[in-house]
Amino acid sequence: MELLECFKEKFGAEAEEIYSAAGRVNLIGEHVDYCGGKVLPAALSLKCRVAVRKNGTNFLRVAATDIPARADIDLNATENYKSLKWGNYQAGVADEMKKAGYNLVGCDILYDCTVPFGSGLSSSAAIEVATAYALAKLGGNKIDKSELAVLSKQAENNYCGVNCGIMDQFVSANGKKGHAILLDCVSLEFKCIPLDLDDCVLVLSNCNKPHNLVESKYNERREEVDTALKLLRKSLPELSCLADVQPYQLEERKALLTPLLYRRARHVVSECDRVLKSVEALNAGDLELFGRLLNESHKSLKEDYEVTGRELDALADAAQAFPACLGSRMTGAGFGGCTVSVVKKKCVDDFIGTVGKTYREKIGYDASFYVAETADGIIDEGKAE
């Protein structure tokens, strides 16, 4: 059913405005945002679109187009909804915005999310950022997209129990069509890098293994790199984050770390270096080099950071073996979700057929494929008509 019609059915009134926030693909810079590194994500045309209206009550009422779930959140008691199965992201965002001093008014919000859930393309960030934008707008607050991203991230940390970094929410808010965003995750300064892929496209391959950051080893990895940072500080007392460690500095201090923590740190340090090289490669139009950096990133995430798993490895291996694929790696948190591959446009169908077949034979079920289209982050479509 169409969004506006569905809104009327769910809330018994007409929607007033429509907004959206984007899903994302991270091109490179994986598991470095929470280590103070730079990342290179792009916002996707897969997004979370919301229809909204003020409802004159003190409740935030949320519903979705594709599931029957609905939650009514009392804006005077936003802290009470952590156990909601659906609606906790929205309650968390409202809670953080309240704490930050935003004026919130009761409203109805209908969610229509085309970012596949559990795909590693940040459906949760898109829901959070769309909520933050809607609440900020309807309450008549001044809009600062980066601040809305930070509040959304805090909701995920404090309310939903995932100790994620800022990357997903930031690009979901600030992404730009045709560009990747080179984001400094400490200062939150960013540059838009034109994503000119010549005769290539980005193919996203979803391994269709359900994953969930709350249950995954995501928080465990964060603890490991925090410990590695503490140990390295014994000899580098000024060190503020792991991303500032130079490769040679890490090698010289290998003895300070356990073998496992050394590998975790080596991923972060080498990945930060690959981000900078990738930006240079993209700026120079050197897609072959960019592709090799993607392959190296996957290897590091597999062997040193151990966040890939057999499904993502099967996809990356099959893609990397395909002659018209310049490079392929897992994207996002890992443990499930998608790979991103740079593929010659004219060979995309063949790529999907070949990689899909190899994957099915190895894993026993199908992967899904999308040709990525970049888009703006938050889009304000304005009046619903």
The reply on whether position 183 binds ligand GLA by CB under 6 A is: no
Closer of 58 and 212 to ligand GLA (Cβ): 212
Closer of 10 and 298 to ligand GLA (Cβ): 298
Binding test (CB under 6 A) with ligand GLA, winner from 31, 53, 61, 329? 31
Angle at 226 between CA 262 and CA 132, to 5 degrees: 130
Chain center to CA of 61: 25
Helix, strand or coil, per DSSP, at residue 199: coil
Shortest gap between Cβ of 43 and ligand GLA (angstroms)? 14
The reply on whether position 304 binds ligand GLA by CB under 6 A is: no
How far apart CA 353 and CA 218 sit, in angstroms, is: 32
How far apart CA 320 and CA 291 sit, in angstroms, is: 9
Binding test (CB under 6 A) with ligand GLA, winner from 333, 342, 355, 379? 333
What b-and-e string marks burial along 88-117, b requiring 16 or more CB atoms within 10 Å of the CB? bbbbbbbbbbbeeebebebbbbbbbbbbbe
Closer of 106 and 332 to ligand GLA (Cβ): 332
Segment near ligand GLA (CB under 6 A); pick from 46-54, 161-169, 175-183, 361-369: 161-169
How far apart CA 283 and CA 362 sit, in angstroms, is: 37
Shortest gap between Cβ of 115 and ligand GLA (angstroms)? 12
Segment near ligand GLA (CB under 6 A); pick from 31-39, 79-87, 143-151, 259-267: 31-39
The reply on whether position 28 binds ligand GLA by CB under 6 A is: no
Shortest gap between Cβ of 385 and ligand GLA (angstroms)? 35
How far apart CA 22 and CA 41 sit, in angstroms, is: 12
Residues identified as active-site = 168
Radius of gyration of the chain (CA): 21
Helix, strand or coil, per DSSP, at residue 301: helix
Shortest gap between Cβ of 340 and ligand GLA (angstroms)? 12
The reply on whether position 271 binds ligand GLA by CB under 6 A is: no
Binding test (CB under 6 A) with ligand GLA, winner from 34, 102, 305, 335? 34
Segment near ligand GLA (CB under 6 A); pick from 160-168, 228-236, 241-249, 353-361: 160-168
Helix, strand or coil, per DSSP, at residue 381: strand
The reply on whether position 23 binds ligand GLA by CB under 6 A is: no
Shortest gap between Cβ of 30 and ligand GLA (angstroms)? 4
Size of the site for ligand GLA (CB under 6 A): 11
Binding test (CB under 6 A) with ligand GLA, winner from 62, 136, 151, 164? 164
The reply on whether position 160 binds ligand GLA by CB under 6 A is: no
How far apart CA 75 and CA 73 sit, in angstroms, is: 6
Six token digits for residue 175: 């992404």
Closer of 329 and 344 to ligand GLA (Cβ): 329
Angle, nearest 10°, between helix axes 88-99 and 123-138?
50
Torsions phi, psi for 240 (to 5 deg): -95, -25
Binding test (CB under 6 A) with ligand GLA, winner from 10, 23, 27, 33? 33
Segment near ligand GLA (CB under 6 A); pick from 29-37, 242-250, 293-301, 353-361: 29-37
| DSSP secondary structure string for all residues of 51-110 | EEEE-SSSEEEEEESSS--EEEEETT-GGG-TT-SSSHHHHHHHHHHHHTT-----EEEE
The reply on whether position 168 binds ligand GLA by CB under 6 A is: yes
The reply on whether position 298 binds ligand GLA by CB under 6 A is: no
User: Which amino acid does the sequence have at 339?
Assistant: T
Binding test (CB under 6 A) with ligand GLA, winner from 87, 116, 165, 291? 165
Segment near ligand GLA (CB under 6 A); pick from 71-79, 164-172, 294-302, 319-327: 164-172
| DSSP secondary structure string for all residues of 145-196 | HHHHHHHHHHHHHHTS-----SHHHHHHHH--TTEEEEEETTT--EEEEE--
Binding site for ligand GLA (CB under 6 A): 26, 30-31, 33-34, 164-165, 167-168, 332-333
